[in-house]
Amino acid sequence: MRTFYIGLFSLALLLHSCSPAGTKEQSVVPSARQLNWQDLEYYAFVHFSINTFTDKEWGFGDESPELFNPTELDTDQWARVAKEAGMKGIIITAKHHDGFALWPSVYTEHSVKNSPWRDGKGDLLKELRTSCDKYGLKMGVYLSPWDRNHPDYGTEAYITYYRNQLTELLTQYGPLFEVWFDGANGGDGYYGGANESRKVDKLTYYDWPNTHALVRQYQPDAVMFSDAGPDIRWVGNEKGYANQTTWSTLYRDSVYAGMPDFDRFSAGQEEGTHWVPTETDVSIRPGWFYHASEDDKVKTVAHLWDIYLNSVGLNSNLLLNLPVDRRGLVHETDVERLMGLKTQLDATFAQNLIASAAPSELSDGDRNTFELLQSGESHRIEIELTTPVEANLFSVQEAIQFGQHIQSFRFFVADESGNYKNVYEGTTVGNKRMITFDTQNVTGVAFEVIEAKATVRIAEVALHRAPDLE
């Protein structure tokens, strides 16, 4: 038996319809900016800087800006590739740990203004902005807190420098959708010639609340990433795989960027006090930066597809890194793999095989219409098909504007005689959970909630046939 309760309200009404504090229905919910971010699902990271020209992953900070000299730099190519790949934006390493700035910051000489590229008049951030606008992509920035070039790193003066640079990025390059604060920092470096090791207390040194306030002031729609949020958090590994159990909630204020053993938090915390969903960052190659020696190590389409299923399909967003090469282009092999993944995504998701059999609120692509599963016995959605379809992937979404509530579920498929078989049992759902199963002829599907911490609202369900990949 199933319980239908069609929710067709405005978002504003929904957000105000929570029960009084202290009751079971008082959920931690996402902000509007977090909801918008969650809808992006898939976007690009670009690691490109001085390391591209030194063949390193972490520059020491003593590299000459003269090394930065891409011969065919074309941000239009990056944006075109990202767009054609189905990505929604690009996050650029404006400054990596080596301290080299890709824009002509007035606060340092360690930037493109002292590079031969564009005769020292180049501004990569500006070029990327133009290209993102041209291709309808969002733009984000990565600004490494650790700076192995700056003489003041480790002192109060560096925090001022960091905020000055951040303010340049926040005020000169149009709307940013995400600001990325890396947790890796502290250790040896050039530090203006000191050539020493500098350790900072990652909990207190950066005085994060005041830096976050700058982002809110100048870019109120941007989400901030770090190991611990405040808006989105690290998934806990750089392999591209979210945790099978992924709560978007976290006791945020007990964790901080760069803390040891952060990967312990990859599952989130069911009773967490803040909404801080995961972002899965992974590179299309072994390294984050370009190395010619990795030209034959670009991830296969099958690998990328598996990553997609285990990130976007596990209540996370996928930030896929493209190491732009020394020409200043996304390498041909990487482009080919990205387009291979796009073909797979299109072939799989173009059609929802239960769209006509499912109630419209579950298949209209709108999280504001949903099916309410009341507590009690009938925690089940069953969709029968009049003609069998070949399928191997089921996708389900919670209406997360009310919070994340499913703790465990079962999924069933009905064979050609109409017999339901349990093919999957899992824990969390959240924004989106994708379940793959052996390709078979399906006459019905059932999604059953085993345990939930509060009323469950299912926004969407979909059934697909993903092409087989090598």
What are the structure tokens assigned to 314, written together? 């596990």
Size of the site for ligand FUL (CB under 6 A): 5
- Nearest CA among 275, 203, 282 for reference residue 236: 282
Q: How far is the CB of 233 from ligand FUL (least distance, A)?
A: 13
Distance CA 427, CA 244 (A): 7
Nearer to ligand FUL, 57 or 382 (CB): 57
Spell out, one character per residue from 359 to 378, where the chain touches ligand FUL: x when CB under 6 A holds, - when not: --------------------
**Which run of H or of E encompasses 8?**
strand 6-8
Q: Is 63 in the site for ligand FUL (CB under 6 A)?
A: no
Scanning residues 375 to 404, which ones bind ligand FUL (CB under 6 A)? none
Residue in the block written with tokens 């370009």? 290
**Contact of 192 with 151, CB cutoff 8 Å:** yes
Locate all alpha helices (DSSP H) within 226-331, ordered by sequence.
301-309
Nearer to ligand FUL, 30 or 145 (CB): 145
Q: How far is the CB of 288 from ligand FUL (least distance, A)?
A: 4
189 exposed, middle or buried (CB, 10 Å; 0-12, 13-18, 19+)? buried
Q: How far is the CB of 156 from ligand FUL (least distance, A)?
A: 24
Nearer to ligand FUL, 281 or 448 (CB): 281
Q: Is 117 in the site for ligand FUL (CB under 6 A)?
A: no
DSSP string for residues in 282-302: EESSSSSS--GGGTT-PPPHH
Scanning residues 284 to 303, which ones bind ligand FUL (CB under 6 A)? 288
Nearer to ligand FUL, 184 or 389 (CB): 184
Distance CA 67, CA 55 (A): 11
- Nearest CA among 173, 116, 119, 113 for reference residue 143: 173
What are the structure tokens assigned to 155, written together? 């002192």
- Nearest CA among 256, 345, 332 for reference residue 296: 332
Distance CA 120, CA 73 (A): 14
Spell out, one character per residue from 22 to 61, where the chain touches ligand FUL: x when CB under 6 A holds, - when not: -----------------------------------x----
Residue in the block written with tokens 């009690």? 376
Scanning residues 168 to 227, which ones bind ligand FUL (CB under 6 A)? 182, 184
Among 123, 127, 178, 281, contact with ligand FUL (rule: CB under 6 A):
281
Q: Is 325 in the site for ligand FUL (CB under 6 A)?
A: no
Q: Is 161 in the site for ligand FUL (CB under 6 A)?
A: no
Interface residues with ligand FUL (CB under 6 A) are 57, 182, 184, 281, 288
